[in-house]
Amino acid sequence: MRSQNRGSLDLRNVHIENQYLKHPEGSVLITVGNTKVICAASIEDRVPPFLRGTGKGWITAEYAMLPRATETRNIRESSKGKVSGRTMEIQRLIGRSLRAVVDLEAIGEKTIWVDCDVIQADGGTRTASITGAFVAVAMALHKISLEKKWTTFPLQDFLAATSVGISQSGEVILDLDYQEDSQAKVDMNVVMIGNGEFVELQGTGEEATFSTSQLQEMLDAATQGIKQLIEIQRTALGEVATLIDQVVKKQS
Amino acid sequence: MRSQNRGSLDLRNVHIENQYLKHPEGSVLITVGNTKVICAASIEDRVPPFLRGTGKGWITAEYAMLPRATETRNIRESSKGKVSGRTMEIQRLIGRSLRAVVDLEAIGEKTIWVDCDVIQADGGTRTASITGAFVAVAMALHKISLEKKWTTFPLQDFLAATSVGISQSGEVILDLDYQEDSQAKVDMNVVMIGNGEFVELQGTGEEATFSTSQLQEMLDAATQGIKQLIEIQRTALGEVATLIDQVVKKQS
Amino acid sequence: MRSQNRGSLDLRNVHIENQYLKHPEGSVLITVGNTKVICAASIEDRVPPFLRGTGKGWITAEYAMLPRATETRNIRESSKGKVSGRTMEIQRLIGRSLRAVVDLEAIGEKTIWVDCDVIQADGGTRTASITGAFVAVAMALHKISLEKKWTTFPLQDFLAATSVGISQSGEVILDLDYQEDSQAKVDMNVVMIGNGEFVELQGTGEEATFSTSQLQEMLDAATQGIKQLIEIQRTALGEVATLIDQVVKKQS
Amino acid sequence: MRSQNRGSLDLRNVHIENQYLKHPEGSVLITVGNTKVICAASIEDRVPPFLRGTGKGWITAEYAMLPRATETRNIRESSKGKVSGRTMEIQRLIGRSLRAVVDLEAIGEKTIWVDCDVIQADGGTRTASITGAFVAVAMALHKISLEKKWTTFPLQDFLAATSVGISQSGEVILDLDYQEDSQAKVDMNVVMIGNGEFVELQGTGEEATFSTSQLQEMLDAATQGIKQLIEIQRTALGEVATLIDQVVKKQS
Amino acid sequence: MRSQNRGSLDLRNVHIENQYLKHPEGSVLITVGNTKVICAASIEDRVPPFLRGTGKGWITAEYAMLPRATETRNIRESSKGKVSGRTMEIQRLIGRSLRAVVDLEAIGEKTIWVDCDVIQADGGTRTASITGAFVAVAMALHKISLEKKWTTFPLQDFLAATSVGISQSGEVILDLDYQEDSQAKVDMNVVMIGNGEFVELQGTGEEATFSTSQLQEMLDAATQGIKQLIEIQRTALGEVATLIDQVVKKQS
Amino acid sequence: MRSQNRGSLDLRNVHIENQYLKHPEGSVLITVGNTKVICAASIEDRVPPFLRGTGKGWITAEYAMLPRATETRNIRESSKGKVSGRTMEIQRLIGRSLRAVVDLEAIGEKTIWVDCDVIQADGGTRTASITGAFVAVAMALHKISLEKKWTTFPLQDFLAATSVGISQSGEVILDLDYQEDSQAKVDMNVVMIGNGEFVELQGTGEEATFSTSQLQEMLDAATQGIKQLIEIQRTALGEVATLIDQVVKKQS
């Protein structure tokens, strides 16, 4: 039996508390089961060197865990003096995912900094970060859009992420908690937009492999999970969700 | 007029949410006005090299801010690859302060790791960290004391901290918020135990000086502020506060 | 038209020079079009701390580029004092992939170090590294197996990798060179074993998305490309290939 | 009995050798008992970014020990690749202290670099550094003042520092040597200007506390010690001391 | 007997494969016995700060070994996060040597980056690097000279390097391989130009010394070895060698 | 004319103040013209890993400059977080030189740490460091030899170093000061033992070359300079010099 009595294709309880912090342009506390992540979006009025003069903006993400977000205490990366490979992989994933839906030309030469800080970890921190960060970024874009009087909201669609895997017993399971993740034969992170297309797909068999039909089954599970996550984002965003819906409608 | 309509010798609103996180042995979210700090205490079953074989324990503290805890975004210390002088100064202060009240011989060869992570900053983050960390450490010690069946609780007294300063107009003010702090002529951090004795006193005139009588006035303000903070700790600690009171009584 | 007059689903010319260096237990120079990578496998008689005493071995990979492997010179990571996120991502991928086919229990407490050094880069360096590293590791395992007189060769199957993507014009293309890769809408790396199952799947739309049917088309292209790569590995390995075939037969 | 037969409120022998080095604008070798520090002041014609365009100058201090300044050899901070928390704390203290008496507006956009290098350590190295650095800075300011033909000398008062503490036996002692410092229950560093006002007060009970009356007794001891140190600075400065006296007179 | 049946004053087999890589302006693979080094020369259109505005160019060299260039695997300097003293010493030597023959005024404000990457090591890697790098630099200069239509080729003479030493038995030996080098009493690296004058001489007795007459004998051996190396460079350079000969003739 | 009216083959004024510091086993302040270096020798009762269990000792040297030892202030290597190539080169040279005369077998598994800290720099800091460090090491060895009751003193000969060069006008000059060094065409450092044999020879033509006869002339100049330096060492060492003379006599 899975934690919280859920079935193999059920998400954990998800909650997004919008406008969680005072200073950032957008910020949320996202809770996915026992996983809790603070996602903050900050707008900076300049871009990295490779974009200067192009009129195009950028999104960059950073990810970290509090030392005691986990069962046993982790050494801070600032104390170690370097960022781990795992952290780099995750922050690159978050940044790439968000860049798929933000209209970087529209925002002009600005950088959106996304900070995902895991307060409590129980599996799925990278996908929770993406799901939460989307809301923070949308709020931050809304804040500038009020000043800029843009005619089109610069977000092309909703974006959310979840994990899916194959358990030791060979069953496809959705939204793995830490214990499930550490025992799974295959682990896959799926990032998807509102129209059901993929942004990222990262499937890994650690000392194991998976077939085409297993892949299909996992993708189906992820797709329905992400649909539910987007509904939760919609609620958290309130009116701002409507702005995104308008953009989606206009495109189709 | 000060923020929240308070008088020159008033504390801001203070709240301590105990048992804030799932994993650490002790953890709180302390709120002092708009300043919010997560303090977690972790117990590790070994000590730094200089204490091995002495039978004595240790407390070490780490302090950090989320990048967007502040008005403008700060670069992460993990990205910079080194911890700033300010951070080091603060974490050494937190560690030293707590060591004044924990009975390090009694806990044996264990290290208590104290992590203070500032979620939102508005002045007084180091003193809020000390006040909050005390509660987290007390909870963690209580947790081990249950296993160890100690006859005496290894905390010798309450411990809390606040800041006090002299404003541009020459007035002594208690518990400075960020704006007050950045304009003050003199800034002093005071760490005190339940019996009113000092653990740490750090007074600084940045491009200014202060007299003996001003010092006395600041210490009086700090003393009454700390008494109030200890009452708030007492409430947050519940029954664990009684254990500390018993130790204090036994000593006198 | 693609470089070397190839069709959209053709691999570039691939060559594996086995036993390229004098010192390593296994080493190859793999050439994929203009991409050239030296892959070396070294055996060390100990394992990382988390495996000590378990009787199980480990594989760890490192990846680097010569500064002038690329069109314009890159700063050395040793000069920068840190390894980039991209490098970390790649070396973690190479290590994980190889661990899927090496029988880590069978080799005992040994670490296989895999060094992939890109001499010349023209796209697909990470997948060329995996395809070449597999041969180097097989040779190194063969070298120890002669001393150890193992009854079963500790490689469970062949393993190779390639990239596949969707071009600006929406066409699925196999084995992207640098120019194709930098213009592609979607880029996917596929790592597969001899029996056609996946080890890793990493699909990314940088500022773009892809549908389920596009995914299927890309996977089909990758599958047939990897079959060809395994035939080239087989030739390079000579007699050692037979040992792998025997293991595969025994399993089925 | 204390070293050198001194009473509890006596300073050790103090000597300041002015113009110790050839290159710096100001430099001294200060000797306090067995503690010896070279203090050099260098003038640089630019300021840190946060002051550019403000017309205001800056003072920044660095502190280090030779590896064998101490009883047992210390590893160099350059070899360790990072500066310790203790060093950072000390250099921040030295810089802040000097900024309290130098008229940063008057000097214009210049940085005064203060380097305090401990040649031999026997307690009180940070306070000796401040006392010596004041003389080096005064000499350097004198050197520029000759070129600039300033009408007012940009030093507002004398500045010196000493330590004071409470011994194991509960006695207040002035100017602790290394052995006294390592056994003291309370240790306090006091930085004061010529008119008797405080610039910095850092009192610390390591695993101990102190009362208001003990604080007062320590401050009295420090005050009379600092008066003596200022007389020694006056002698070392010769005519330059007169320039400071004139400024002090004009203010009152 | 020495490896490859050579006499005490014989070089090992030396081969220089010119235009080894596709991207760099000049590149070679130099083989000296079992030592193999890839040398690449890159031209960058700017100079370090200390040369800006002087109209003068610069040459800077970097040196590294693949981890498994050696008998046992070396940890990458990028993983260690710092470059070793040995590496720094070697890259400074290569840079200084090349600067002796390149006309830095003539090339204008350009930097020539020289990358020497040891693929396989068996002694003499630093001297092989210099000998190979000279050819790569000559090719790169030739490439720009075609664009620039310089009347004089900006290389003043040939440049090559070898090692010489005194064996345990007291014999002078030329071009030491790894085993000879690790047992030699004295080890000397000699860098020389075509006219027989020295550019660098670095003689070291590790736990041993050498006399003036031994020095003379070693220098004679090195001189004749370097003459042979220059002939091999000449062959590799083809027509470009003629350009250097013309410059040498014009000078005399 | 050279500084201090000296002829082209004259040393500057040299003075060695023995037993300069209180804590180290051996320490001197060596003055060579305006160059001043503190050399300290510390004995540690263990050796680096590669010597453990061999019964043999080790000498390792570190070199640094105070930031304002030079005309303009240098950034501390501890602030930069890494040691420069120049520093590494120098400290390797000092260590190697001293290892040529210390009987590492005789001292057993001890490390002699040599710290050379340049207080004031005016050219020749590395050779002054070697000449001074020899005296500090001799004193430190004498100190242990008293405890150990060794029958033979573990120093095989005197050791000193100087620089020699070729000026712009083509003249051979001895013991170059900073200005001479920065203008010289050729610069050579020579380390020699008491019997006139070489330990190290490092000759460099920065953008210049030198002939065999110029080399000979430079070596002659260095030889007579070093003889004088050894006499100055002898005076500084007092009775300890006699112990070295006895060892030299016994060997011949």
Question: In this predicted complex, what is the ipTM?
Answer: 0.93
pLDDT value at position E83? 86
Domains of chain A by range and CATH? 3-251 (3.30.230.70)
Cα Dmax for chain E: 56
C-alpha separations of F120 from D62, F13, F28 in Å: 17, 15, 14
Q: Which of B66, B81, B83 sits opposite A115 (nearest CB)?
A: B66
What integer pLDDT is reported at residue D152 of this predicted model? 87
**B45 interfacial to chain A (CB closer than 8 Å):** no
Number of H helices, E strands in chain D: 7, 9
Mean pLDDT over F12-19 rounds to 97
Interface of D with F in 114-133 (CB under 8 A): 115, 117, 119-120, 122
State the angle between helix axes of F125-148 and F239-251 in degrees (0 to 180), rounded to the nearest 10.
90
Smallest Cβ–Cβ distance between B21 and the set A22, A78, A120 belongs to: A120
User: Which of F35, F42, F60, F73 would best serve as a mutation to test chain D binding (most D beta carbons within 10 A)?
Assistant: F73
pLDDT at F187 over 90: yes
**Minimal Cα distance from E78: which residue of C?**
C78
Q: Does F79 lie at the interface with D, CB-CB under 8 angstroms?
A: yes
Task: Give the closest-approach CA distance of C61 to chain A in angstroms.
Answer: 13
Structure tokens at C94: 């190479």
pLDDT < 70 regions, chain A? none
Q: Which residue of A has its CA nearest to B71?
A: A23
Quote the mean pLDDT of chain E. 95
Nearest of F57, B122, D231, F180 to residue A21 by alpha carbon: B122
* Angle at alpha carbon of residue B198, lines to B196 and B202, rounded to 5°: 140
**Could you please report the per-residue DSSP string of D169-182?**
TS-EEES--HHHHH
SS (H, E, C) D111-144: EEEEEEEEEECCCCHHHHHHHHHHHHHHHHHHHH
Q: Which residue has the higher pLDDT, D89 or C147?
A: D89
Give the confidence band of C175 by pLDDT, cuts at 50, 70, 90.
Answer: very high
SS3 A69: coil
The span from the CA of B230 to the CA of B130, in Å, is 12
Using 50, 70 and 90 to split pLDDT, how confident is the model at E149?
Answer: confident
Candidates E38, E35, E93; CA nearest to E69 is E35
Contacting partners of chain F (3+ CB pairs under 8 A): D, E
If 0-12 CB within 10 Å is exposed, 13-18 middle and 19+ buried, where does residue C118 land? buried
Alpha-carbon distance B207 to B230, whole Å?
Answer: 33
As averages over each run of 10 residues, the pLDDT of chain D (252 residues) reads 87 97 97 98 95 95 97 89 88 95 94 98 98 98 88 94 95 96 96 96 90 96 98 97 94 82
For residue F143, pLDDT over 90 is answered with: yes
pLDDT at residue number F3: 78
* D24 close contact with F: CB closer than 8 A: yes
Q: 3-state DSSP call for residue F36?
A: strand
Task: Sort out which chain B residues have CB atoms less than 8 A from A75's CB and list them.
Answer: none
Inform me whether the C-beta atom of residue E77 falls under 8 Å from chain C C-beta atoms: yes
Q: Is E201 on the interface with F (CB under 8 A)?
A: yes
SS3 A150: coil
Beta bridge partners of F28: F18, F39
**Averaged pLDDT, C27-51:** 96
In percent, the amount of chain E with pLDDT more than 70 equals 100
Q: Residue positions of F in the annotated binding site? A: 86, 124-126
Query: Cβ atoms within 10 A of the Cβ of C173, count?
Result: 23
Q: Is the pLDDT of residue E206 over 80?
A: no
Q: Find, in chain D, the residue whose alpha carbon is nearest to that of B200.
A: D204
Q: Is E16 helix (H, G, I), strand (E, B) or coil?
A: strand
Looking at chain E, list the stretches that DSSP marks H as alpha helix, in order from N- to C-terminal side: 77-80, 85-99, 104-107, 125-148, 178-183, 212-237, 239-251
Chain D residues in contact with F64 by the CB 8 A cut-off are 76, 78
Q: For an interface test with F, give the residue of D38, D39, D78 to mutate (most F CBs within 10 A).
A: D78
Q: What secondary structure does DSSP assign to C188-229, as a single string?
A: EEEEEETTS-EEEEEEEETT--B-HHHHHHHHHHHHHHHHHH
Residue with tokens 């960022």: A83
* Phi, psi for residue F94 in degrees, rounded to 5: -60, -45
Q: Contacts of residue F112 in chain D, CB cutoff 8 Å?
A: none
Q: Which residue has the higher pLDDT, B16 or F85?
A: B16
Measure the CA–CA gap between D241 and D155, rounded to whole angstroms: 10
Q: How far apart are CA F115 and CA D117, in angstroms?
A: 14
User: What's chain F's average pLDDT?
Assistant: 95
Among E85, E197, E205, select the one facing F211 at the smallest CB separation: E197
Please identify every stretch of chain B with a pLDDT value under 70, giving residue numbers as ranges.
Answer: none
Q: Which helix (H) or strand (E) holds F7?
A: none
What tokens were used for B246? 């018993």
> Using the beta-carbon criterion (under 8 Å), do A209 and C202 form an inter-chain contact?
no
F67–D62 CB contact, under 8 Å: yes
**F-chain residues within 8 Å CB-CB of D70?**
23
| CB-based contact C203 A198, cutoff 8 Å | yes
Binding residues of E for phosphate: 86, 124-126
Dump the DSSP string for chain C: --GGG--TT----EEEEES-SSSSSEEEEEEETTEEEEEEEEEES---GGGTTTT--EEEEEEEE-TTSSSSPPPPHHHHTS--HHHHHHHHHHHHHHHTTB-HHHH-S-EEEEEEEEEE-SS-HHHHHHHHHHHHHHHHHHHHHHHHT-SS-SB-S-EEEEEEEE-TTS-EEES--HHHHHH-SEEEEEEEETTS-EEEEEEEETT--B-HHHHHHHHHHHHHHHHHHHHHHHHHHTHHHHHHHHHHHHH-
Tell me which of D59, D204, D212, D226 to substitute to probe the interface with B (most B C-beta atoms closer than 10 Å): D204
pLDDT band for F242, please (50, 70, 90 cuts): very high
Chain E nearest-CA residue for F193: E209
Give the tens place of pLDDT for each residue, E67-104.
Answer: 999 999 999 988 887 888 899 999 999 999 999 999 99
Q: Which of D23, D62, D78 sits opposite F70 (nearest CB)?
A: D23
* Chain-chain contact of F206 with E82 (C-beta, under 8 angstroms): no
Dihedral of CA atoms D44, D50, D53, D59 in degrees, nearest 10, equals -30
Contact C141, C107 (CB under 8 A): yes
For residue F118, pLDDT over 80 is answered with: yes
Rounded-to-integer distance, Cα A151 and Cα A145, Å? 9
Q: Which residues of C touch A210 (CB under 8 A)?
A: 197-198
- Tokens coding D46: 């630019």
Residues 6+ apart with CB under 8 A from A240: A138, A139, A142
Between chain E and chain F, the number of residue pairs with CB atoms below 8 A apart is 96
CB contact under 8 A, A209 and C197: yes
Identify the chains in contact with D, defined as 3+ C-beta pairs within 8 A: B, F
**Which residue stretches of A7-161 are H helix?**
77-80, 85-99, 104-107, 125-148
Q: What is the structure's pLDDT at C80?
A: 81
pLDDT of amino acid E80:
81
Residue in D179, D251, D126, D199 with CA at minimum distance from that of residue D3: D179
**CB-based contact C115 E22, cutoff 8 Å:** no
Q: Are strands D111-120 and D58-65 parallel, antiparallel or unpaired?
A: parallel
Q: Model confidence over B20-41: pLDDT tens digits?
A: 999 999 999 999 999 999 999 9
Q: Tokens 């082209």 — which residue? A: F8
A77:B78 CB<8 A: yes
Mean pLDDT of E219-247: 97
Place of tokens 């203009």: C34
If you search the block for the tokens 């000398």, which residue do you land on?
Answer: D153
Residue A246 token pair: 């308008």
Residue F206 reports pLDDT greater than 80: no
Nearest to B144 by CA among B48, B53, B17, B24: B24
Contact at CB, A92 and C89, closer than 8 angstroms: yes
pLDDT in tens, E2-29: 877 899 999 999 999 999 999 999 999 9
Quote the minimal CA–CA distance from D110 to chain F in Å.
14
In the numeric block, which tokens belong to residue A137?
């970024």
pLDDT at position C4:
74
Whether the CB of B69 is below 8 Å from some CB of chain A: the reply is yes
Contact call for E215 and F202, based on CB within 8 A: no
Q: How many alpha carbons fall within 13 Å on the CB side of residue D163?
A: 26
State both tokens at D250: 């004009």
Would the CB atoms of B23 and A82 count as touching at under 8 Å? no
Put simply, whether B91 touches D (Cβ < 8 Å) is: yes
Which residues on chain F are in Cβ contact (under 8 Å) with D82? 78, 81
What CA–CA distance (Å, rounded) separates C200 from C187?
14
Residues of A in contact with B21 (CB under 8 A): 68-69, 119-120
8 Å CB contact of B23 and A120: yes
Q: Nearest C-alpha of chain C: how many angstroms from A64?
A: 14
**How far is Cα C3 from Cα C177, in angstroms, rounded to an integer?**
8
Residue A244 in contact with residue A155, Cβ under 8 Å?
yes
- Count of CB atoms situated within 10 Å of the CB of D43: 19
